[in-house]
Structure 1
Amino acid sequence: VVDPKGRDYAKYRGARALTPNLAEVALASGLPVDSEENLGRAARKLMEETRAELVLVTRGAGGMTLFGREGLLSHEPARALEVYDVTGAGDTAAALFGLALFGDLPPAEAARLANLGAGIAVGKVGTAVVTPAELEAAREGRREGAGEKMLPLADLLRRLHRERAQGRTVVFTNGCFDLIHVGHIQYLQQARRLGDLLVIGLNDDASVRRLKGPGRPLIGGRQRAELLGALACVDFVVFFGEDTPLRLIEAVQPDILVKGGDYGPDEVVGKEAVESRGGRVEVLPYVEGFSTTQIVETIVERYAPMKDPKGKP
């Protein structure tokens, strides 16, 4: 399987399958691709030139279309629910298409897997890894979201052991994440860009009350975890009940420990534990203008005057 480049496809003669995008098909064939019929002609020309059996055309938001020597074999609509970064989506599609063909799957099923994998990849930031669990979830019509991402510590450590065996770096951050807002999301996206997997240590409800006061959390732990798990930039969520995440950090052994705010690196809890294993600490600035406290104060200010004396709206 070849993900081709350039005008001259003769150099790919002997490949079983090609995975060009629309622009590459037009460039190499010299034919318009402005209709399904014209795209079919262009794909057929490429197969004749290279003697390939299959051409899987990646079409971005248009999905993927598979052609064989007999003509159109299948079309897969785009599957991405959130698009964060298209980097590496074509590579993901080519890799999965080739792997599926090597495993003797029918070409149409191989194209479906390639399309599902690309849809997962573009929902992540940067050059992303698509895991078997994510692919299986997509095949079953579900997302590896909140429920799949919330793990007990023992299960998380086993999962991270497998991921590290494949060379992936683990980023860790922690917090209460009560009433998640844009500032939280942008911070987590920045943290995720630093490595391959983002693990969030989430304060349970009791520890949030100790840290923030009796009126908190505003949103219960399970719901906070589900909200975090719904973000494509978050890979795993694990609860902790201590006032600091030190014990959790020592167990997870992240490659990169991330903290938000105006902390100095020496003030970050877990710094010594991470650096003693060759990891590093990153301090990211908070996004200005967003905070849970400000949101709560705004709600109270705007809606308190609307209540009647009995406290009803």
Structure 2
Amino acid sequence: MSDIRSKILDLDTLKEKSITIQNSGKKIVFTNGCFDILHSGHIHTLSEAKKNGDILIVAVNSDSSVRELKGKNRPINNQNDRALIIACLSFVDYVIVFDEETPEKIICDLLPDVLIKGKDYEGKMIAGENCLKANGKVIKLIDLIENTSTTNIINKILNR
């Protein structure tokens, strides 16, 4: 378990690692989400993200951030559990938890080579977009699996 926990880093440590990784010629891919109840849509997105580079960094919204985005009854799972679950996935290299509404500061500090978002962001402003484009980085939108969301799972449970 300690090996898995070592994948969960703070921003300063992650910045140092990112510099070393990029200086070695490896490509860093970044994505983010709440990941409240892990489902097949999350697995699909994260595994597809990993295909776009060598190292996958996943930013997980903190409990307070999830409450701001999803409402007072969320998250179901606390931030430590959610970060640990994401860190357990073999295709995820590093995890960071963030308190803000978006991971813009992390993205602009790390400058990953590729930022992955779902196609539901098409035509919308993406956190970190300006600093990534200014530094020649790529934003890639990937297909999502329809009807897979934590909200749908919660509603299904509540309606039984």
TM-score (norm 2): 0.94
- Tell me the SS of whatever aligns to 1:272: helix
Mapped to 2, the partners of 1:144 and 1:151 lie a distance apart of: 12
Report the CA distance shift for 1:240/1:143 in structure 2 as closer, same or farther (over 3 A).
closer
Query: Of 77, 80, 86, which residue of structure 2 is paired with 1:228?
Result: 86
* Corresponding residue for residue 138 of structure 2: 280
Structure 1 contact 265–281 (Cα < 8 Å) conserved: no
Give the aligned residue type for 2:128. G
Q: Letter of the aligned partner of 2:39 in structure 1?
A: H
Tell me, what secondary structure is at the counterpart of 1:172?
strand
Secondary structure, counterpart of 1:267 in structure 2: coil
Which position in structure 2 is the counterpart of 1:296? Answer: 154
Shift of 1:292: 0.6
CA displacement, residues 129-150 of structure 1 (integer Å, 9 cap, x when unaligned): xxxxxxxxxxxxx7842x0110
Q: Percent identity?
A: 37
Report the residue type matching 1:156 in the other structure. Answer: L
Select 1:164's aligned residue among 12, 22, 43.
22
Q: Which position in structure 1 is the counterpart of 2:119?
A: 261
Q: Counterparts in 2 of 1:175-186, with a 5 A limit?
A: 175-186=33-44
**8 Å Cα contact 1:176-1:202 kept in structure 2:** yes
Unaligned runs of 5+ in 1: 1-141, 303-313
Matches within 5 A, 1:201-220: 201-220=59-78
Paired letter, 2:53: G
Contact 1:200 1:236 (8 Å CA) reproduced = yes
Structure possessing the higher relative contact order (Cα contacts under 8 Å, 6 or more residues apart): 2
Displacement of 1:265: 5.6
Q: Distance in 1 between matches of 2:58 and 2:7?
A: 10
Structure 1 range deviating more: 195-204 or 267-276: 267-276
SS in 2 for 1:208: helix
Equivalence for 2:57: 199
Q: Identify the residue that residue 251 of structure 1 maps to in structure 2.
A: 109
Q: Aligned partners of 1:296 and 1:174: how far apart in 2?
A: 21
AA matched with 2:13: D
Query: Alignment partner of 1:262: what SS?
Result: helix
For 2:104, give the aligned amino acid: L
Unaligned runs of 5+ in 2: none
**Please, what is the CA RMSD of the aligned residues?**
1.4
- How far the C-alpha of 1:240 sits from its partner, in A, is 1.0
Distance 2:101 2:157 in 1: 28
Q: CA deviation at 1:266?
A: 5.5
Quick one: which amino acid aligns to residue 155 of structure 2?
E
1:262, 1:294 → 2: CA distance?
16
> What does residue 155 of structure 1 align with?
13
In the TM superposition, 1:1-313 aligns within 5 A as: 144-145=3-4, 147-264=5-122, 267-302=125-160
Once the 2 structures are TM-superposed, how far is the Cα of residue 194 of structure 1 from its aligned partner?
0.4
**Which is further off, 261-270 or 203-212?**
261-270
Task: Tell me, yes or no, if the aligned pair for 1:255 and 1:280 is still in contact at 8 Å.
Answer: yes
Write the letter of the residue equivalent to 2:158.
V
- Equivalent-residue separation in structure 2 for 1:174 and 1:276 (angstroms): 21
- Equivalent AA in structure 1 for residue 116 of structure 2: V
Q: Secondary structure at the match of 1:174?
A: strand
